[in-house]
């Protein structure tokens, strides 16, 4: 048992190192692509778009609960990004900048409280094993429950949870993008997670 636990610990350490290295390489590529974009390279813009479009579209859908609106938001953000790339000064990651741009755009457009919860049929939520009918059905059911529970949270809490868990933004990045304190962001996240857990637990007990 000790040997197995030691092996698992070593494997996790190796995975963490690979993950950190991958992140550094990705950030290096982003800086190079941004430099190329400032030189007028349309290929650099295309590479940035292809690199992040799926994650950003998923984020926009999660925040707006509307795929058509999310596609419009993604288009508008990249148009604005292309126009402002020459004067853009990144303090954090490019993905973080684009993710907060998506969130700001959705917020500025206004969120229709009467929109239905996210239609999970529009998303590939089951991952690489989605060709298994049983696994697909379970994944959709879980996503529907979580999506419905998320709709019961204030939008500010939904936004922080999605930006932090789905887009991987740090609390500091979210706070700086929204111009509010990191304590406020952390409180929104904590209260949101607690309420989400309470909603899901109450459903299980029914």
pLDDT greater than 90 at residue 48: yes
- Note whether residue 21 is domain-resident: yes
Average of per-residue pLDDT across 142-165: 84
* Full domain range(s) for residue 200: 152-206
Q: Return d(Cα 189, Cα 193) in angstroms, integer.
A: 6
Tokens in use for 156? Answer: 């500010």
Phi, psi (degrees; rounded to nearest 5) at 123: -120, 150
* Closest C-alpha among 125, 16, 106 to residue 61: 106
pLDDT greater than 70 at residue 148: yes
Q: Residue 161 belongs to a domain with what CATH number?
A: 1.10.10.10
Per-residue confidence (pLDDT) for residue 57, from 0 to 100? 93
Task: Tell me, yes or no, whether 192 and 101 share the same domain.
Answer: no
Residue 73 and residue 64 in contact, taking contact as beta carbons nearer than 8 Å? yes
Q: How many CB atoms lie within 10 A of CB 115?
A: 12
24: pLDDT confidence band, cut at 50, 70 and 90? low
Q: Kindly report whether the global pTM for this prediction surpasses the value 0.75.
A: no
Task: Tell me, yes or no, whether 33 and 85 share the same domain.
Answer: yes
Q: Return d(Cα 49, Cα 55) in angstroms, integer.
A: 10
Tens digits of residue pLDDT in 81-130:
998 887 877 777 888 889 989 998 998 876 544 343 444 343 333 333 44
Collapsed DSSP state (helix, strand, coil) of residue 124:
coil
Q: Return d(Cα 96, Cα 113) in angstroms, integer.
A: 26
| Percentage, residues of the chain above pLDDT 90 | 28
Q: Residue 37 belongs to a domain with what CATH number?
A: 1.10.1740.10
Per-residue confidence (pLDDT) for residue 75, from 0 to 100? 95
Residue 99 and residue 163 in contact, taking contact as beta carbons nearer than 8 Å? yes
Q: Which of 53, 76, 110 marks a domain boundary? A: 110
Provide the domain count of the chain.
Answer: 2
Task: Tell me, yes or no, whether 16 and 92 share the same domain.
Answer: yes
Which stretch, 104-118, 136-150, 152-166, has highest mean pLDDT? 152-166
- Note whether residue 182 is domain-resident: yes
- Note whether residue 144 is domain-resident: no
Q: Which of 88, 110, 132 marks a domain boundary? A: 110
Average pLDDT of every residue of the chain? 77
Residue 199 and residue 117 in contact, taking contact as beta carbons nearer than 8 Å? no
């Amino acid at each position: 048992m000790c040997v197995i636990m030691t092996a698992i610990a070593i494997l996790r350490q190796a995975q963490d190192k690979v993950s950190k290295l991958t992140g550094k390489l990705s950030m290096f590529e982003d800086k190079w692509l941004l430099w190329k974009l400032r030189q007028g390279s349309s290929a650099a813009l295309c590479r940035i778009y292809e690199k992040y479009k799926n994650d950003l579209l998923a984020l926009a859908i999660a925040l707006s609960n509307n795929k058509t609106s999310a596609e419009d938001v993604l288009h508008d953000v990249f148009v604005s990004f292309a126009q402002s790339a020459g004067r853009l000064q990144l303090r954090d990651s490019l993905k973080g900048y684009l993710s907060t741009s998506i969130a700001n755009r959705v917020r500025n457009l206004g969120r229709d409280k009467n929109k239905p919860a996210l239609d999970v049929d529009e998303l590939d939520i089951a991952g690489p094993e989605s060709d298994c009918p049983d696994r697909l059905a379970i994944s959709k059911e879980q996503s529907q429950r979580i999506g419905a529970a998320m709709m019961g949270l204030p939008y500010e809490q939904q936004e922080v949870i999605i930006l932090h868990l789905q887009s991987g933004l740090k609390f500091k990045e979210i706070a700086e993008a929204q111009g509010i304190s990191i304590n406020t962001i952390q409180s929104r996240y904590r209260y949101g997670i607690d309420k989400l857990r309470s909603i899901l637990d109450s459903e299980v007990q029914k």
